[in-house]
């Protein structure tokens, strides 16, 4: 973990608080040039200033972007691509657990829009910049242990009229793990490593807001954000030959993607049709 990555460019989504902030700070302390992707300008600026002060690294930059918006993602990537810099590490950390059904202005269920569609579009559009950093490029997607409870489903926007945000979040996180597995397979010749990880239950502003009862019950017993972010930083620093393409990691080790009795393993067979759907929703070329 003492590796210096001075010449590497890292993008961290959802970087103004919690695990994203801790990951960005950790990468900045290793000397990386870090781009913080934040939805809120004021909170992003506060995080930027704090990270620069804590690490002494002035190569930390803020990009304001709402990952629930496809048009904003496309506009950002187009703008960022004009810098023509290689992206060595993309950390897909931004996540949302909205307990009530909310629809974005583009017509997507909000949790799905951020956790799945936003992650998908951001990664796909970043591929040319990641390829510039090959063979050192990595995409690290932050999932959740909650995904162990659910199979992969093609019902991406939770059509059941009795909406359950916690179940939808778990489903979204299962998609991220399956997507990572598929990306590693699809883009095996691009020199990009794809990995997912789950941070364990960490005491973050997101958990406090989305699951206040859970947060209160386990106050003081949850991991810190830095503990939750540790495996993200570890994955970013590891030589790729030490890592398993498409694997899920937890506490610096490969973890199973399915629990023995959960009967979720066969569900990953639907990932191809899910990707077709996502590509269509994102209006990316087939």
Positions marked active-site:
169
Q: Report the candidate in 125, 111, 123 with the shortest Cα–Cα distance to residue 172.
A: 111
Please state, in angstroms and rounded to a whole number, the distance separating the CA atoms of residues 249 and 235: 9
Dihedral (CA of 159, 160, 164, 167) sign: negative
Cβ 5 vs Cβ 31: under 8 Å: yes
Looking at 65-219, which runs of residues are DSSP E strands?
Answer: 89-92, 137-142, 192-197
Please state, in angstroms and rounded to a whole number, the distance separating the CA atoms of residues 231 and 198: 8
Alpha helices, DSSP H, located in 143-270: 165-186, 205-210, 212-217, 225-237
Task: Give 48's DSSP letter.
Answer: H
Radius of gyration of the chain (CA): 18
Per the structure block, which two tokens stand in for 70?
A: 């496809």
Cβ 244 vs Cβ 138: under 8 Å: no
Cβ 141 vs Cβ 192: under 8 Å: no
Please state, in angstroms and rounded to a whole number, the distance separating the CA atoms of residues 278 and 122: 12
Distance, first Cα to last Cα, the chain: 40
Q: Report the candidate in 262, 264, 281 with the shortest Cα–Cα distance to residue 273.
A: 281
Cβ 194 vs Cβ 245: under 8 Å: yes
């Amino acid at each position: 973990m003492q590796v210096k990555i001075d010449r590497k460019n890292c993008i961290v989504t959802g970087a103004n608080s919690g695990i994203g902030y801790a990951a960005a700070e950790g990468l900045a302390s290793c000397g990386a040039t870090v781009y913080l992707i934040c939805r809120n300008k004021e909170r992003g600026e506060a995080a930027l200033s704090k990270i620069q002060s804590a690490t002494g690294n002035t190569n930390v930059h803020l990009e304001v972007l709402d990952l629930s918006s496809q048009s904003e993602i496309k506009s950002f990537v187009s703008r960022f691509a004009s810098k023509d810099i290689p992206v060595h590490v993309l950390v897909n950390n931004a996540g949302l657990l909205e307990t009530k059904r909310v629809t974005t202005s583009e017509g997507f269920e909000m949790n799905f829009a951020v956790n799945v569609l936003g992650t998908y579009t951001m990664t796909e559009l970043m591929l040319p910049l990641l390829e510039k950093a090959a063979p050192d490029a990595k995409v690290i997607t932050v999932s959740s242990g909650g995904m162990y409870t659910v199979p992969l489903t093609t019902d991406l926007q939770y059509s059941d009229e009795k909406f359950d945000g916690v179940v939808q979040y778990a489903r979204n996180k299962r998609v991220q793990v399956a997507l990572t597995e598929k990306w590693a397979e699809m883009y095996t010749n691009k020199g990009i490593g794809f990995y997912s990880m789950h941070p364990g239950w960490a005491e973050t502003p997101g958990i406090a807001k989305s699951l206040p009862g859970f947060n209160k019950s386990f106050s003081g017993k949850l991991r810190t954000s830095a503990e939750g972010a540790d495996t993200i930083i570890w994955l970013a620093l590891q030589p790729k030959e030490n890592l398993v393409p498409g694997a899920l990691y937890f506490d610096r080790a490969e973890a199973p993607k399915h629990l023995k009795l959960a009967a979720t393993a066969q569900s990953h067979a639907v990932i191809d049709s899910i990707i077709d759907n996502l590509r269509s929703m994102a209006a990316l070329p087939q």
